[in-house]
Amino acid sequence: MKITDVRTTLLTGPCTNDPFLREARKLRSAAFVEIITDGPHIGIGETYAGYFCPEIVPEIVEFFKPILIGQTVDDIPELWRRMYHCGNFWCRVGLGAIVLNGIEAALWDLKGKLLDQPVHALLGGAKFDKLPCYATGGPSNYPREKLARKMDHYFSLGFRGLKVGAGSYTVGEGFYCPMTPGEAADFEGAKVAFMREHAGPDAWLMLDGHMGNSPKGTWSLEVAQAALRAVEPYDLFFFEEPLHYTDPWGYAQLCEATTVPVAGGECLTASYEWKVFVSQDCFDIGQPDASFTGGLGEFMNVSAMLAGRGRKIATHAWGAGGSLMQNVHCGFAAANTAILEIAPDYAGLHADVIDGGLVIKDGYVLPPDRPGLGVVLTDEIKRRYPFQPGTGEFNSVPGKILST
């Protein structure tokens, strides 16, 4: 088997079937990379860059394509090394590494199909019989009665854990984010107290500051400390992204100042960038994303790096179906995985792409058993979800306002 072509497929479809998430986000875009061979198998991978800047992805894939033509998947780490080195001046971190992630994932998918093995088996084997998972719920839909209905919706789908954003989102009013220490402590403390009372003592509850991409500004260390101290009594599984990623020093101080596990890392790319944060113990729980971090191999490097500091990981997965399955496989292969992020009540760019291999029982994910990643990308799927330029998500600023 030799690689004969590498191509990119851009798609646009409903963001979710979740009525609560849909209040804030109607559409999603996705970028899939297909590795074509002179045999019957096609490797499929996804880069999370397709959710943000899909129009840019095809040109970067074309840049790397000549490195793969005529090659086999016998040594994927070597192919990754060649591509990464070729982009040494511009993809040590950032967009180049993110797109490279989708290419490398497609290589692993292809190899799994050729060997008739799931990808987690190729990455060292599943370390768990099952893994807990949570519904990633996006914003805290307000008023509180709506937030309670949102929580009940996820529990009705079989989840035992859920995550919602700091602040709130109200239809007609938009996002609210408390921006002073006192305001943050009062608002987040009262909200999480309400959530814990509604969910009961056994539910896994998480809060997401979204401070890598907050639409209303980012917290200072003082505001984050106040918010996390206020929620300490309510047994959060973790508090995600309470600070911006330009402040690893603040993250390290925050971990020292609270008993709430601090999580983060979804916006970090490649081992090099992760080392800056891991070496300073910035996270109690790291959140690599196997469609963004730089590759499945890079995901495993990051998980080992965190394990070496006694830290756990929780997968980040808010791409489409390929992204989700890449993270599930890596989560099972990493020995320090604490929990998996799952898009709940998902729409076609998950449901149609995932080939039946994602099995959730009693709030736990079982190891996928399909060859490769367990994703498909048929001509019918491509026709059903034609790409609409401008559907990538971004942080709105004057002159560039997100409307989808």
Q: pLDDT, tens digit, for every residue of 292-332?
A: 999 999 999 999 999 999 999 999 999 999 999 999 999 99
Checking if the pLDDT of 134 tops 90, the result is yes
Indicate if 107 and 126 belong to the same structural domain: no
Is the residue at 399 inside a domain?
no
The verdict on residue 258 lying in a domain is yes
Q: List all residues 6 or more positions away from 140 whose beta carbon is below 8 Å from its beta carbon.
A: 147, 164, 165, 166, 167, 168, 169, 191
The pair phi, psi for residue 300, each rounded to 5°, is -65, -35
Q: Is there a single domain that holds both residue 188 and residue 321?
A: yes
Nearest to 205 by CA among 252, 165, 161: 161
**Residue-level pLDDT at 18:** 96
On whether residue 29 sits in a domain, the answer given is: yes
Q: pLDDT at position 214, please?
A: 77
User: Over the Cα atoms of the chain, what is R_g?
Assistant: 20
CA-CA distance, 282 to 139, in Å (whole number)? 24
pLDDT confidence of residue 217 = 83
pLDDT tens figures, 204-220 = 999 999 998 876 789 99
Spatial CB neighbours of 67, under 8 Å, sequence gap ≥ 6: 79, 82, 83, 86
Of the pLDDT bands very low, low, confident and very high (cuts 50, 70, 90), residue 160 is very high
Q: Which residues pair with 161 in a beta bridge?
A: 204
How far apart CA 326 and CA 399 sit, in angstroms, is 35
The domain in which residue 297 lies consists of 121-365
For residues 78-107, average pLDDT: 97
- Residue 390 within any structural domain of the chain: no
91 and 151 in a single domain? The answer is: no
- Structural domain tally of the chain? 2
pLDDT of residue 347: 97
Residue 401 banded pLDDT, cuts 50, 70, 90: confident
Is 169 in the same domain as 293?
yes
Which pLDDT score is estimated for 190?
A: 98
**54, pLDDT greater than 90:** yes
pLDDT mean across residues, the chain? 96
Which of these, 33, 28, 91, lies nearest to 291 by C-alpha position? 33
For residue 57, what pLDDT band results from cuts at 50, 70 and 90?
very high
* One domain, residues 244 and 280: yes
Distances 378 to 13, 18, 352 between C-alpha atoms, Å: 15, 25, 9
pLDDT computed for residue 374 by the predictor: 98
DSSP string for 356-391: S---EETTEEPPP-SSBTSB---HHHHHHSB--TT-
Average of per-residue pLDDT across 54-79:
98
182 and 43 together in one domain: no
Q: What is the CATH number of the domain that holds 16?
A: 3.30.390.10
Q: Which helix (H) or strand (E) holds 297?
A: helix 296-307
Orientation of helix 144-156 relative to helix 181-199, angle to 10°:
40
Torsion angle of alpha carbons 244, 250, 256, 257, nearest 10°? -80
The pLDDT assigned to 63 comes to 98
Mean pLDDT, rounded, for 339-359: 96
Are 110 and 244 in a shared domain?
A: no
Q: Is the pLDDT of residue 392 over 90?
A: yes
Does some domain include residue 394? no
Residues 148 and 110 in one domain: no
pLDDT surpassing 90 at residue 400: no
**What are 230's two structure tokens?**
């206020």
Give the Cα separation of 200 and 142 in Å (integer).
20
The amino acid occupying position 139 is: P
Q: What is the mean pLDDT of residues 240-265?
A: 97
Residue among 322, 317, 331 nearest 374 (CA): 322
Pair 291, 375: CB distance under 8 Å: no
| Burial of 257 from C-beta contacts in 10 A (0-12 / 13-18 / 19+) | middle
Omega prior to 143 cis, within 30 of 0:
yes
The pLDDT, as a whole number, for residue 213 is 80
Residues 78, 209, single domain; the answer is no
**Lowest mean pLDDT across 108-117, 171-180, 192-201:** 171-180
Q: Are residues 133 and 105 in the same domain?
A: no
pTM over cut 0.85:
yes
Please state the rounded mean pLDDT for residues 8-18: 97
Closest CA to 48 of 322, 402, 349, 362: 322
**Residue 136 has which token pair?**
């990633």
User: Is residue 202 situated within a structural domain?
Assistant: yes
Long-range contact list for 144-147, CB < 8 A, 24+ apart?
144/191, 144/194, 146/20, 147/191, 147/194, 147/195
Element of type H or E holding 180? none
The alpha carbon of 228 is separated from its chain's Cα centroid by a whole number of angstroms, namely 23
Strands 161-165 and 131-136: parallel
Q: Which of 20-24, 128-132, 199-203, 294-298 has the lowest mean pLDDT?
A: 20-24
DSSP state of 234: G
